[in-house]
């Protein structure tokens, strides 16, 4: 059986109390032998050029290919931008991105930024794999519930973007900002499975790797890092 190791990681815009953030990202990728990595809160320069973090991964690890979707101003680093990305060991054949509807929530001077997803389609072990990085709005920050029916249109929009094409294996890594995976999985016709149920951020299971049910999950683990979100790592058997 051929296996791949996939990861999902909200990197907190590269902000840490101390240490070399990019260096730790490289170290984690190497230690966990990650082949495909879905990243959220990736820092980008104001000119929307290459993220220094993605550049370091390309230089020091096997993740030399990337797809990105720059979404909004960074909320932790003035003058920078923030977005999602997929870093891949395999050459990327096609990409697709989406910006989700912004609910325009406000609370205590904070406004909801644009969130979204980016998909990279690769070939691995003779299989076509569509790897997506997702970042959903932090509904709780504004006193809203992620399962509020009035916000369902945001989940509908994401589900339309993620509906698998024929012959593709689906892998979705993301910060869903809720432990309720059914808000997405029940909106997608294809059968998908969640991998991570352990708390990944402030005691809640908000980060996950979701994959096609036809793929065999061999292992799943979380790794605590500099970020306020754990790195999720799942090993999948493709054939």
pLDDT at residue 17 in the model = 52
pLDDT at residue 22 in the model = 82
pLDDT at residue 225 in the model = 92
User: Which tokens sit at 235?
Assistant: 């090993």
Q: Residue 48: is it exposed, middle or buried by C-beta count within 10 angstroms (0-12/13-18/19+)?
A: exposed
Nearest alpha-carbon partner for 86 in 106, 104, 101, 64: 64
Residues facing 127 on adjacent strands: 124
Residues spanned by the domain of 128: 3-237
Nearest alpha-carbon partner for 231 in 195, 184, 192, 183: 195
Nearest alpha-carbon partner for 76 in 20, 13, 17: 13
> What is the number of structural domains in the chain?
1
pLDDT at residue 77 in the model = 74
Gyration radius of the chain's alpha carbons: 16
pLDDT at residue 15 in the model = 64
Tens digit of each residue's pLDDT (9 = 90 or more) over 119-142: 999 999 889 999 999 999 999 999
**CB distance 41 to 231 below 8 Å:** no
pLDDT at residue 79 in the model = 86
Q: Could you tell me the mean pLDDT of each successive run of 10 residues in the chain, 239 residues long?
A: 94 68 91 98 90 94 97 84 96 97 89 95 94 96 94 97 92 97 95 96 96 95 94 93
Residues 6+ apart with CB under 8 A from 116: 69, 71, 83, 84, 97, 98, 99, 100, 134, 135
For 146-183, b/e burial (b = at least 16 CB within 10 A) is beeeebeebbebbbebbebeeeebbbbbbbbbbbebeb
Q: Rounded distance, CA 140 to CA 82, Å? A: 20
Which CATH number do you get for residue 16? 3.60.10.10
């Amino acid at each position: 059986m051929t296996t791949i190791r996939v990861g999902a990681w909200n990197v907190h815009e590269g902000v840490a109390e101390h240490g070399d953030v990019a260096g730790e990202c490289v170290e984690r990728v190497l230690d966990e032998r990650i082949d495909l990595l879905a990243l959220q809160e990736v820092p980008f320069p104001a000119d929307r050029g290459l993220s220094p973090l993605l550049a370091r991964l390309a230089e020091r690890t096997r993740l030399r290919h990337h797809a990105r979707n720059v979404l909004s101003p960074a909320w932790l680093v003035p003058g920078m931008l923030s977005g999602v990305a997929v870093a891949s060991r395999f050459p990327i054949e096609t990409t697709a991105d989406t910006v989700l509807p912004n609910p325009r929530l406000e609370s205590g001077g904070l406004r909801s930024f644009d969130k979204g997803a980016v998909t990279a389609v690769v070939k691995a072990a003779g299989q076509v794999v569509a790897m997506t990085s997702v970042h959903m709005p932090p509904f709780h920050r504004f006193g809203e519930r992620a399962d509020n029916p009035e916000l369902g249109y945001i989940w509908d929009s994401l589900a339309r973007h993620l509906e698998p094409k024929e012959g593709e294996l689906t892998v979705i890594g993301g910060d869903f900002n809720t432990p309720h995976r059914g808000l997405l999985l029940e909106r997608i016709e294809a059968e998908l499975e969640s991998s991570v149920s352990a708390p990944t951020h402030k005691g809640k299971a908000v980060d996950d790797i979701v994959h096609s049910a036809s793929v065999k999950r061999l292992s799943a683990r979380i790794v605590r890092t500099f970020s306020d979100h754990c790195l999720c790592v799942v090993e999948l058997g493709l054939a």
